[in-house]
Amino acid sequence: MNIEEQVELLMQGTEYGDEDLKKAMASELRERLKLAEKEGRPLRVYCGYDPTSTDLHLGHTISMRKLRQFQDLGHDVTFLIGSYTALVGDPSDKNKARPILTEEKVAENAVTYAEQAFRVLDKTKTKVRYNGEWLSKLTLVDLIRLGQNFTVQQFLARDNFANRMEKGEAIYLHETFYALMQGYDAVAMETDVQVGGSDQLFNIIVAGRKLQEALGQKPLVGIITGILPGTDGVQRMSKSTGNVVPINSGANDMFGKLMSVPDSAMGTYLRLASRWSPHEIDQMEKDVASGALHPRDAKMKMAGDIVGIFYSDEEAVSAQENFIKTFQQKEVPDDIPEYDLKDGQTVLDVILDAKLAPSKSEARRLFDQKGVRLDGETVERGDIPFPHAGVLQVGKRRFLRVK
């Protein structure tokens, strides 16, 4: 790709809330790419991840997808684990302070994060670092000097802090440290480009750039990605709203959940989560608008591409075939797992033991919604002994051959 094509790809799916700022970042990225090409070196790019939980969903991986684009263009990518920032907790998108995690819990979660990240990133080209390397060495005086670059008003003007102030809700002093710590990450790694979601705008564009400039470095280019909506197509993807696309639930489940995304959100998913170029996406949208491509077929292409990132293109093809059989032809998939029934097991016992539902409460909800079937017949209750051998269906996409 030439420089202009790189800028177009790397700015795809970005969201700054201000068109002038977006144009300024695109211009700085263009100049940084030209300088790197002239100097014969790759750009130093990073994104930080606070391992506050273990299971990632598709929304968590949008910034990883952007890092992969930089990797594919030959740039130097660091996957930074926020071993110290996670101890504070990022207040950016929260209406209350996050619970403070222990160092042991952060370390445990970090291992899972890295493993899942390599389903998007090229492991052989990715540096993994922990910001405890440098943040643990800062003294109280160092922190005070970093804080001299900011005013209290700058922090209170942030939407989440302003909203909490208006409602009379607490804002704790340690929450203001987070932006300083993340900004110092950029300084410590002499960063050219930082990637992050739009909830990180203040931490990247204000804190990171300002600290670099104050400490004699060239301010980084902030690549701010949009936020992926959930399967409802409206609200941010979140476990609390139940609209997530998990990345560890299997190719079939991921494909099915992506097919449930409303047509109106397809463009956002393509720009944030797929491997397609801006021109390919534009052409698909034109084909759908003209009637040359049915929205269902476009969505299958989208689902297949995204599933291929996390599993393989072969598994994506198989998932599509299973989806067609299950939903368009109303057939049970051929390759479903088998389960040996044990004496005395209830229907609920089998569902939980086979991990067809994550919890008893979720399983009971499925029973209430008539979402549990045995050989096509609805099972009303979970506390009854398992009736007989057959194909158990839980929800729309999970099948188990019980013997």
Q: What is the pLDDT of residues 6-34, one digit of tens each?
A: 999 999 999 998 999 999 999 999 999 99
In the predicted structure, residue 97 carries a pLDDT above the cut 70: no
Q: Look at residues 328, 355, 371 and tell me which one is the last residue of a structural domain.
A: 328
What is the side-by-side order of every strand in the sheet holding 76-81? 126-130, 76-81, 44-49, 193-197, 221-225
CB atoms within 10 A of CB 114: 17
In the predicted structure, residue 93 carries a pLDDT above the cut 70: no
Tokens of 245: 């696309």
- Mean pLDDT calculated for residue range 108-130: 85
Same domain? For 42 and 67 the reply is yes
Are residues 175 and 89 in contact, defined by beta-carbon separation less than 8 angstroms?
A: yes
Residues above pLDDT 70, as percent of the chain: 94
Q: Looking at residue 44, what is its pLDDT?
A: 97
Q: What is the DSSP letter of 191?
A: -
Residue 234: inside a domain? no
Tokens of 33: 């790419």
Residue 342: inside a domain? yes
Q: Look at residues 328, 355, 384 and tell me which one is the last residue of a structural domain.
A: 328
What is the side-by-side order of every strand in the sheet holding 390-394? 338-339, 398-402, 390-394, 372-374, 377-378
Same domain? For 185 and 253 the reply is no
Same domain? For 289 and 218 the reply is no
Q: Looking at residue 330, what is its pLDDT?
A: 64
Tokens of 154: 């700058």
Q: Looking at residue 249, what is its pLDDT?
A: 83
Residue 333: inside a domain? no
How far is 365 from 342, CA to CA, in rounded Å? 24
Q: Note the pLDDT tens digit of each residue in 258-309.
A: 998 989 999 999 999 999 999 999 999 999 998 888 888 999 999 999 999 9
Indicate left, alpha or beta for 99 from its phi (over 0: left) and psi (-120 to 50: alpha). beta
CA angle 188, 193, 195 (to 5 degrees): 100
Residue 231: inside a domain? no
Are residues 228 and 234 in contact, defined by beta-carbon separation less than 8 angstroms?
A: no
| pLDDT, averaged across the chain | 88
Indicate left, alpha or beta for 331 from its phi (over 0: left) and psi (-120 to 50: alpha). beta
Lowest mean pLDDT among 163-177, 275-289, 335-349: 163-177
Same domain? For 203 and 124 the reply is yes
How sure is the predictor about 86, in pLDDT bands with cuts at 50, 70 and 90?
confident
Residue 257: inside a domain? yes
Same domain? For 345 and 306 the reply is no
In the predicted structure, residue 169 carries a pLDDT above the cut 70: yes
Residue 67: inside a domain? yes
- Mean pLDDT calculated for residue range 70-78: 95
Are residues 339 and 399 in contact, defined by beta-carbon separation less than 8 angstroms?
A: no
Q: Give the count of domains, the chain.
A: 3
- Mean pLDDT calculated for residue range 159-172: 85
Tokens of 12: 């795809």
Same domain? For 215 and 249 the reply is no
Same domain? For 258 and 187 the reply is no
Residue 247: inside a domain? yes
Residues above pLDDT 90, as percent of the chain: 51
How far is 300 from 38, CA to CA, in rounded Å? 42
Tokens of 1: 């790709």
How sure is the predictor about 139, in pLDDT bands with cuts at 50, 70 and 90?
very high
Same domain? For 344 and 314 the reply is no
Cα-Cα-Cα-Cα dihedral of 215, 223, 121, 58, to 10°?
130
Same domain? For 15 and 47 the reply is yes
Name the pairing type of β-strands 398-402 and 338-339: parallel
How far is 146 from 213, CA to CA, in rounded Å? 12
Same domain? For 107 and 82 the reply is yes
Q: Looking at residue 176, what is its pLDDT?
A: 84
Same domain? For 154 and 277 the reply is no
How sure is the predictor about 109, in pLDDT bands with cuts at 50, 70 and 90?
confident
What SS3 state is found at 54?
coil
Q: Looking at residue 34, what is its pLDDT?
A: 95
Are residues 66 and 195 in contact, defined by beta-carbon separation less than 8 angstroms?
A: yes
Q: Looking at residue 196, what is its pLDDT?
A: 93
Q: Looking at residue 159, what is its pLDDT?
A: 77
In the predicted structure, residue 358 carries a pLDDT above the cut 90: no
Question: What are 76's strand-pairing partners?
Answer: 44
In the predicted structure, residue 92 carries a pLDDT above the cut 60: no
Domain that residue 250 falls in: 239-328
The CATH number that applies at residue 366 is 3.10.290.10
Q: Look at residues 300, 328, 356 and tell me which one is the last residue of a structural domain.
A: 328
Tokens of 120: 């998007």
Same domain? For 307 and 358 the reply is no
How sure is the predictor about 236, in pLDDT bands with cuts at 50, 70 and 90?
confident
In the predicted structure, residue 334 carries a pLDDT above the cut 80: no
Q: Looking at residue 94, what is its pLDDT?
A: 53
Residue 230: inside a domain? no
What SS3 state is found at 168?
coil
Helix (H) or strand (E) holding 77: strand 76-81
- Mean pLDDT calculated for residue range 111-123: 84
